[in-house]
A and B are shown apart, each in its own frame.
Chain A
Amino acid sequence: MSLDIAVCVKVVPKPEEVTFNKETKTLDRGKAENVLNPPDKNALEAALQLKAEHGGTVSVVSMGPPFAKGFLELCIGMGADAGLLASDRLFAGADTYPTSLVLARAVQALPRFDVVLCGEESADAATGQVPQGIAGWLDVPQVTCVDEVRVHGRTLVARRVLGHATERVAVPLPALVALGAGANVPRFPDFRRVDEAAAAGRVRVVSAADLKLREEEIGLKGSYTLVGGLVEGEATERKRQLVEGDARAKAKAILAAILGPK
């Protein structure tokens, strides 16, 4: 029995390239290169492996600005069949609540779905709450913290890695799975396929109205959490003493510092 799989992905600025302006208390994302959120690539790879085993389709779904379309084409280059980008100014300022609503409606706009795969958290906001939200809106079982997923008939079996325990969970389809980064090794895109996807218009862009979402349910208006202020993190003053000398002198200095006075 073939599987129709939706993979939710997010385009994020490389976190190490985002800087914080201490005077204006704003984040400068301008200089940061945008990338596909790393665990989302693991989710896509897992989807492609399921498709190879069972047949079916893989659709990538995202909420983001218009330029995210190019990243969905990149996903098609990796092997996905189609993309759906929910893009609308009205989506701006969304917290996890309306974000998961928009993604759930986008998944429901696909012809059908058996499995929804997500990366477990984004490298920028890192809330790790959107997959559970999507599952809530779709009213399907969720399995989070997953590093391996298999499907047998209409049952999905996933391995959860919880730190203190590992478990194998069986859930009926349709279901949502959130994968951790490093769960597999994502394949490289075939750039000829990327270009073909762009030329053939295989990424559909939809608005809030297309998804039948009302203004008050989405974006900032649909969000329940607000940033009530930004404070500077409590930095710890460090001594910043530079040690000169050969490797042995450096080793001794390290030991003196971390073992403390004898």
Chain B
Amino acid sequence: MSAPRGVWVWMEQEGGTLHPVGLELLGKGRSIADTLDEPLVALLMGSDVAKHAESLVERGADDVLVAQDEHLGTYLTDPYVKVLGDMAEARHPNVLLFGSTPNGRDLAGRLAIRLRTGLTANAVRLDVDRATGLVLGGVPGFGGSVVALIKCERARPQMATVRGGIFRPLAPDPSRRGRGRIERVNVSVGPAQLTCRILERSVVATEDISGVERVLVAGLGTGGDLRLVEEVATLLNAAIGVTRPLVDAGVAPREKQVGSTGIALRGKAALVLGVSGASHFTSGLKDVGTVVAVNTDPKAEIFEHADVCIVGDLSEVLAALRDELKARQEVTA
């Protein structure tokens, strides 16, 4: 067996459109590959994805492996595990990266068992240990107050799922055009991988609030009643995020969850309402420009993580905020 070599990035796609996290990982993968002096390989899987191959070279890939087949159009565990597992077993990559998306996690978790290797889950940083050449995946423990550096010494590939919004994609470099090696891979999907079927599917427009300029974040202190929060958010042209307990209670969908197991905000300002400030939440505020917190408890941990601290009754402060915003609108009108 040849020595494991190559930094591989799985390019997730939906309806032939690439998921941004794949491009982010290609950007980070470029610097890892340079440090290791190994090729950066982009993995395109789908029914209509070959068209993206050249653009991935422009964005940093040395090689692009294209597995194009009608059975790979929409993600399903079995055919994807089969095709990617076959590629990895035949070619022995050193590193294999996925976005920490629902399907990225579904695929990576299953594939790690087939490939008998270690998987670092939901990393927020990736570094190469220069002494050993091992990839260190940084995983926030208890919400970012501590980051555990996870490594995989005795098996290959070194697998990781990585959170979106952490790394930046490289700008396309037209001078790289034509310099990559694009290879069509034979896809062998048979009846054994086709026992599961998608009966129906609807693509929903979702709002990614991670990069929105201003976000109001509601916690348990709101009692789960977001009417006033929504009113103020509309007046401010701000998006709404929530803490995990409100998602668990069904008040808001999962993609609105801020914190270490949800999304990290990186906008200009966050107004945090009725949140106690446990560290697994506050890690999601690290990259926000200005944080304003409102809480009834003057000793709340959240005030350690805020620029402006307001001790007071939430509905009173929100009502005053609404009135002030309405008054300003009337003046402008």
Contact = CB atoms under 8 A, between A and B. Distances in A.
Given A169-B199, A251-B320, A232 B122 contact: no
Contacts, number: 264
A216 to B, nearest CB: 12
Interface in B179-221: 195-204, 206, 214
Contact of B323 (A162, A233, A251, A254): A251
A128 B199 contact: no
A1 interface: no
The prevalent SS among residues of B at the interface is mixed
A171 B309 contact: no
A238 B304 contact: yes
A209 interface: no
A157 B270 CA distance: 40
A166 B109 contact: no
Contact of A162 (B103, B200, B247, B286): B103
Interface string B228-264: 0000000010000000000111100111000011000
Interface in B299-326: 303-313, 316-317, 319-321, 323-325
Contacts of B247: 181-182
Interface in B260-292: 260-261, 268-271, 276, 278-280, 283, 285-287, 290-292
Contact of A164 (B14, B129, B321): B14
A172 B287 CA distance: 45
Given A131-B109, A165-B203, A225 B323 contact: no
Interface string A188-202: 000000000000000
A56 interface: no
A127 B285 CA distance: 21
B195 A144 contact: no
A144 B309 contact: no
Contacts of A34: none
Contacts of B154: 224
Contact of B78 (A126, A141, A157): A141
A56 B9 CA distance: 44
B317 to A, nearest CB: 5
Given A171-B195, A230-B149, A250-B312, A241 B307 contact: yes
A240 B295 CA distance: 13
Interface residues on B, range: 35 or more
Given A126-B122, A168-B200, A253-B308, A228 B149 contact: yes
Contacts of A169: 76, 196-199
Contacts of B248: 38, 181-182
A171 B196 contact: yes
A181 to B, nearest CB: 4
A145 B106 contact: yes
A243 B197 CA distance: 57
Contacts of B152: 224-226
A207 interface: no
A141 to B, nearest CB: 5
A15 B150 CA distance: 20
Interface in B83-119: 101-103, 105-106, 108-110, 112-114, 116-119
A97 B102 contact: no
Contacts of A157: 199
A186 to B, nearest CB: 11
Nearest to B120: A225
Contacts of B268: 258, 260
A128 B121 contact: yes
B77 interface: yes
B286 A258 contact: no
Given A128-B105, A257-B290, A232 B146 contact: yes
B140, B142, B286 interface centre (most CB from chain A within 10 Å): B142
Given A234-B286, A255-B325, A142 B118 contact: no
B110 A132 contact: yes
B201 A167 contact: yes
A15 B278 CA distance: 9
A145 B271 CA distance: 30
A239 B248 CA distance: 32
Given A135-B110, A228-B136, A235-B286, A165 B311 contact: no
18 contacts: A15-B280, A132-B105, A132-B110, A142-B110, A162-B102, A167-B201, A168-B198, A180-B254, A224-B119, A224-B155, A226-B153, A227-B150, A233-B145, A240-B304, A240-B306, A247-B312, A254-B310, A257-B307
Interface of A: 15-16, 18, 20, 25, 27, 38, 95-97, 100, 121, 126-133, 135-137, 141-145, 157, 160-172, 180-182, 223-236, 238-243, 247-248, 250-255, 257-260
